[in-house]
């Protein structure tokens, strides 16, 4: 593994303080002395148009960073909620290039909210990593989280991503010990995503004490903001997380809410978008109450 | 491809066979994967570890398995002054009825060495599940086997066997509900239980060190063939044939012969309804490189990189991927990969039963289908060794159904 400087800084002119959207976002949160809300939605779930309506409404609902899941047929690290979301999206015709189109379309109306794409390597490998990075940057994507690319495989996509001027956001987990942590944090920029449990998305939840201890440990090793995800389901849990972390990630719970608005054939029923955004608004309020400025 | 002086040097320290292999897993698993690698390195250099495997292989598994001259099929396939001499490596005579136990024995001893207290596994045909449940009973470890509901339906006898052996069989309803989804589910379990759980992967796939480790535990097949054919014929064979799903029986047979380049090595994939349909499981002959289940290898996938459902009449071959070492052996040209359809396998299944009194599993029936294809054209002194890697008891319902017989 070779070390590289944080990408956006490297692509900036010497001395110029050009920040990425992600960096601006976390700087603003810090200035406002509040935690951030990161929300995960699966691209094209339950269908492209309904998805885009949800996506478009997220910033107004109080989301600070948007994670868009790139649907994959075999999401090994995801629980039933996101597995089902991936499948719905794929069945509704979503593809990787379709996901990039969604991001690009979002950018025409919002040039500030960071977009992170999250998923698995194979669709990108199939698309062609270099072409993917060019198209993602063109679409206004800010960073990538790729679940099945640990530091041991950095040459595949991590280093090219940094070269392309995008953030590579790594997952740190309860099994990432102090010996391994430097490798995990190297080549990471934007923020660090702490997976608060051993397990898959949307299942069990970590205790507040365990998260506090873990974030404290991470902070000893990095100055990057830390976002905590996996198993966070309610505004109350989100509020608790941001008392110790810089941001909280909620995915499966939002998707469960979406699923509740589908009819038996999996089609969006009237009111689904507003209901999902209402839930996100409640999460955002929770986050704002967790650490009132 | 640069010239190689050995095909047996792989994988490199990062688990690569050429461009294939690697460690494409979630961070949660990574520390454990490294621990498995370290523990395996120590174990394979420990003569006591190998001695324990050898002892169980002999007295519990029943190794060495015989090398058997299939005289009647040799006659049947022969044509006048032509027709290769066909030998079967009888790995279907192992305890539990397939080669899978060779690997399970090695892995459970490693799990014990690592102090793990819980075993998980995935299974397609159920042979690996049964073998895992068997060693778990013998070594007193709780066992959870993930199995797609499609496979549970077509492999009922093996499901019951696993239960008799004390294993919990978890039906997998996600995705295509077959082997690949069982593997996803096993990986999900592992991520949630890394601290006490060892995942016994059933084939030469998955993140490094699994492909190399499973190969090492299966290479006994080829090592024995080498000795046995020398004893029987006074020389090495001309052609080796094995079926390929994930590819563990084939790697086990081929490995000892990789550097004898005049020996033809042939892997037979499952062509299902035919390679020109979307219902087959031939990832090497019908797929392209991708990344799944911890390694880069040939995969059946669509234009978007989504993994496709495989199809084969044989649950054990019904997997859209293949071990990474096979992908590399394909690209280097050292091994030839061909395929046989459901119908050809069914035909071979019946021939083997009628002419040799051996009911083979549907998996090696694919290998036999190819032997039937090539044997008639070869000279009488041409020696073929085919790995008869499993017995067919588990398949009688499937075959009866395919032949329209009610039992």
Condensed to tens digits (0 to 9), the pLDDT of residues A167-219 reads 999 999 999 999 999 999 999 999 999 999 988 988 888 888 999 999 999 99
pLDDT at A16: 46
Rounded to 5 degrees, φ, ψ at B39 are: -65, -40
Q: How many residues does chain A have?
A: 293
Min Cα distance B255 → chain A (Å) is: 27
DSSP, res B9 = S
Nearest beta carbon to residue A122 from set B27, B195, B291: B291
pLDDT at A193: 97
Min Cα distance B144 → chain A (Å) is: 17
Min Cα distance A122 → chain B (Å) is: 5
A121 contact residues in B (CB cutoff 8 A)? 24, 291
Residue in chain B closest to A124 (alpha carbons) equals B305
Nearest Cα neighbor of B26 from A116, A34, A37, A74 is A74
| B259, B244 Cβ separation under 8 angstroms | no
Nearest beta carbon to residue B27 from set A75, A171, A199: A171
Question: Residue holding tokens 């960071």?
Answer: A114
Instruction: Work out the mean pLDDT of chain A and round it to a whole number.
Output: 93
Judge: A200–B191 Cβ closer than 8 Å, yes or no.
yes
Give residue B213's Cα distance to chain centre.
13
Nearest Cα neighbor of B329 from B12, B17, B3 is B17
Min Cα distance B298 → chain A (Å) is: 12
Nearest beta carbon to residue A152 from set B14, B194, B303: B14
Question: Residue holding tokens 């960096």?
Answer: A23
First vs last Cα of chain A: how many Å apart? 40
The tally of CA atoms less than 13 A away on the side-chain side of residue B218 is: 31
**Interface with chain A: mutation pick from B13, B30, B208, highest number of A CBs within 10 Å:** B30
Q: Which two tokens mark A111?
A: 């040039």
The tally of CA atoms less than 13 A away on the side-chain side of residue A293 is: 11
Domains parsed from chain A with CATH numbers: 21-289 (3.20.20.70)
Judge: B28–A148 Cβ closer than 8 Å, yes or no.
no
- What are the helix (H) ranges across chain A? 7-11, 21-32, 48-57, 80-91, 96-107, 121-127, 129-139, 158-163, 181-185, 208-221, 235-241, 252-260, 272-290
Judge: A122–B301 Cβ closer than 8 Å, yes or no.
yes
Interface of A with B (CB under 8 A): 72-77, 79-80, 83, 87, 90, 95-96, 120-127, 147-153, 170-177, 180, 184, 195, 197-200, 203-204
Cα separation of B46 and B42, whole Å?
6
Cα separation of B10 and B215, whole Å?
11
Rounded to 5 degrees, φ, ψ at A117 are: -95, 135
Tell me the per-residue pLDDT of A48-85, one tens digit each, with 9 for 90 and over: 999 999 999 999 999 999 999 999 999 999 999 999 99
Catalytic residue among A23, A47, A67, A135: A67
Judge: B290–A126 Cβ closer than 8 Å, yes or no.
yes
Tell me the per-residue pLDDT of B391-402, one tens digit each, with 9 for 90 and over: 999 899 999 999
Q: Which two tokens mark B23?
A: 């460690």
pLDDT at A8: 45
Cα separation of B25 and B32, whole Å?
11
pTM of the model: 0.95
Tell me the per-residue pLDDT of A243-266, one tens digit each, with 9 for 90 and over: 999 999 999 999 999 999 999 999
User: B269 in helix, strand or coil?
Assistant: strand
Annotation marks residue A78 as catalytic: yes
What does R_g of chain B's alpha carbons equal in angstroms?
Answer: 20
Min Cα distance A73 → chain B (Å) is: 5
Q: Is residue A3 scored above 70 in pLDDT? A: no
What string of DSSP letters covers A133-189?
A: HHHHHHHT--EEEETT--GGGTTTTHHHHHHTT-EE--EE-TT--TTTHHHHHTT--
Judge: B188–A79 Cβ closer than 8 Å, yes or no.
yes
Mean of pLDDT values over A128-157: 98
| A248, A36 Cβ separation under 8 angstroms | yes
Judge: A123–B291 Cβ closer than 8 Å, yes or no.
no
Residue in chain A closest to B177 (alpha carbons) equals A74
Cross-sheet strand order for the sheet of B264-272: B67-69, B85-89, B383-387, B239-244, B264-272, B335-341
pLDDT band, residue A13 (cuts 50/70/90):
very low
Annotation marks residue A23 as catalytic: no
Cα separation of B21 and A180, whole Å?
22
What string of DSSP letters covers B37-99?
A: HHHHHHHHT-HHHHHHHHHHIIIII-PSPPEEE-HHHHHHH-BTTB--EEEEE-GGGSTTSBT
First vs last Cα of chain B: how many Å apart? 53
pLDDT tens, chain B, 407 aa long: 455 689 999 999 999 999 999 999 999 999 999 999 999 999 999 999 999 999 999 999 999 999 999 999 999 999 889 999 999 999 999 999 999 999 999 999 999 999 999 999 999 889 999 999 999 999 999 999 999 998 898 788 899 999 999 999 999 998 878 889 999 999 999 999 999 999 999 999 999 999 999 999 999 999 999 999 999 999 999 999 999 999 999 999 999 999 999 999 999 999 999 999 999 999 999 999 999 999 999 999 999 999 999 999 998 898 999 999 999 999 999 999 999 999 999 999 999 999 999 999 999 999 999 999 999 999 999 999 999 999 999 899 999 999 999 98
Nearest beta carbon to residue B23 from set A76, A90, A152: A152
| B213, B63 Cβ separation under 8 angstroms | no
Residue in chain A closest to B303 (alpha carbons) equals A126
Give the Å distances, CA to CA, from A224 to A30, A31, A235, B35.
12, 15, 24, 29
Rounded to 5 degrees, φ, ψ at A100 are: -65, -40
**Interface with chain A: mutation pick from B14, B28, B300, B301, highest number of A CBs within 10 Å:** B28
Judge: A124–B195 Cβ closer than 8 Å, yes or no.
no
pLDDT band, residue A5 (cuts 50/70/90):
very low
Tell me the per-residue pLDDT of A88-141, one tens digit each, with 9 for 90 and over: 999 999 999 999 999 999 999 999 999 999 999 999 999 999 999 999 999 999
Catalytic residue among A64, A78, A135, A142: A78
Q: Which two tokens mark B238?
A: 């001309």
Residue in chain A closest to B287 (alpha carbons) equals A126
Cα separation of A124 and A133, whole Å?
9
pLDDT at A252: 96
Residue in chain B closest to A184 (alpha carbons) equals B27
- Asked if the bond preceding B11 is cis, omega within 30° of 0, the reply is yes
What string of DSSP letters covers B286-323?
A: H-EEEEETEEEEEE-B-TTSPBPPP--SSGGG--S---
Cα separation of B310 and B282, whole Å?
8
List all residues 6 or more positions away from B111 whose beta carbon is below 8 Å from its beta carbon. Answer: B119, B141, B198, B200
Nearest beta carbon to residue A147 from set B26, B292, B296: B26
């Amino acid at each position: 593994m070779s070390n590289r400087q944080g990408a956006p800084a490297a692509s900036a002119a010497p001395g110029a303080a050009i920040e990425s959207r992600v960096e601006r976002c976390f700087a603003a949160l810090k200035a406002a002395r509040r935690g951030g809300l990161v929300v995960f939605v699966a691209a094209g779930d339950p269908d492209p148009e309904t998805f885009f309506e949800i996506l478009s409404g997220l910033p107004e609902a109080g989301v600070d960073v948007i994670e868009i899941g790139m649907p994959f047929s075999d999401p090994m690290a995801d629980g039933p909620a996101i597995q089902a979301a991936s499948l719905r999206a794929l069945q509704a015709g979503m593809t990787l290039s379709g996901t990039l189109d969604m991001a690009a379309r979002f950018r025409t109306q919002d040039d500030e909210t960071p977009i992170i794409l999250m998923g698995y390597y194979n669709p990108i490998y199939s698309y062609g990593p270099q072409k993917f990075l060019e198209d993602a940057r063109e679409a206004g994507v800010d960073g990538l989280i790729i679940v099945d690319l640990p530091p041991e495989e950095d040459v595949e996509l991590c280093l090219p991503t940094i070269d392309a001027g995008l953030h590579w956001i790594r997952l740190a987990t309860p099994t990432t010990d102090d010996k391994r942590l430097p490798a995990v944090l190297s080549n990471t920029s934007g923020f660090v995503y702490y997976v608060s449990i051993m397990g898959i998305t949307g299942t069990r939840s970590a205790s507040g004490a365990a998260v506090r201890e873990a974030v404290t440990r991470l902070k000893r090793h990095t100055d990057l903001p830390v976002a905590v995800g996996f198993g966070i389901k309610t505004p109350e849990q989100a509020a608790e997380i941001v008392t110790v972390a810089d941001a909280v990630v909620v995915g499966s719970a939002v998707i469960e809410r979406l699923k509740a608005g589908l009819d038996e054939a999996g089609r969006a029923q009237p009111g689904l978008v507003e209901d999902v955004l209402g839930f996100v608004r409640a999460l955002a309020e929770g986050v704002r109450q967790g650490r009132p400025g | 491809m640069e010239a190689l002086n050995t095909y047996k040097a792989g994988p490199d320290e990062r688990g690569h066979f050429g461009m294939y292999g690697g460690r494409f897993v979630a961070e949660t698993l990574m520390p454990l994967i490294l621990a498995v690698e370290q523990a395996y390195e120590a174990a394979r250099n420990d003569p006591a570890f190998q001695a324990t495997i050898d002892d169980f292989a002999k007295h519990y598994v029943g190794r060495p398995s015989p090398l058997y001259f299939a005289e009647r099929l040799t006659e049947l396939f022969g044509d006048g002054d032509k027709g290769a001499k066909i030998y079967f490596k009888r790995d279907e005579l192992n305890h539990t009825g397939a080669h899978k136990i060779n690997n399970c024995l090695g892995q459970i001893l490693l799990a014990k060495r690592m102090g793990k207290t819980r075993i998980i596994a995935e299974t397609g045909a159920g042979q690996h599940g049964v073998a895992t449940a068997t060693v778990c009973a013998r070594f007193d470890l709780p066992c959870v086997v993930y199995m797609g509901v499609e496979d549970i339906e077509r492999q009922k006898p093996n499901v019951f066997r696993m239960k008799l052996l004390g294993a919990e069989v978890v039906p997998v309803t996600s995705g295509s509900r077959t082997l690949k989804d069982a593997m996803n589910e096993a990986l999900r379990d592992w991520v949630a239980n890394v601290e006490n759980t060892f995942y016994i992967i059933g084939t030469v796939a998955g993140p490094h060190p699994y492909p190399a480790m499973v190969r090492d535990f299966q290479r006994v097949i080829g090592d024995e063939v080498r000795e046995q054919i020398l004893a029987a014929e006074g020389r090495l064979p001309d052609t080796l044939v094995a079926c390929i799903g994930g590819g563990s029986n084939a790697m086990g047979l081929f490995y000892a012969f990789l550097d004898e380049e005049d020996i033809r090595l042939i892997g037979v994939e499952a062509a299902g309804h035919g390679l020109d349909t979307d219902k087959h499981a031939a990832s090497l002959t019908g797929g392209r490189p991708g990344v799944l289940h911890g390694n880069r290898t040939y995969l059946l996938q669509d234009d978007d990189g989504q993994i496709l459902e495989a199809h084969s009449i044989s649950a054990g071959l019904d997997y859209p991927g293949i071990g990474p070492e096979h992908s590399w052996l394909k690209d280097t040209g050292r091994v030839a990969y061909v395929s046989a359809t459901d119908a050809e396998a069914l035909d071979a299944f019946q021939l083997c039963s009628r002419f040799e009194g051996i009911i083979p599993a549907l998996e090696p029936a694919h290998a036999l289908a190819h032997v039937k294809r090539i044997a008639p054209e070869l000279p009488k002194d041409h020696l073929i060794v085919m790995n008869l890697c499993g017995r067919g008891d588990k398949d009688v319902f499937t075959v009866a159904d395919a032949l329209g017989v009610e039992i």
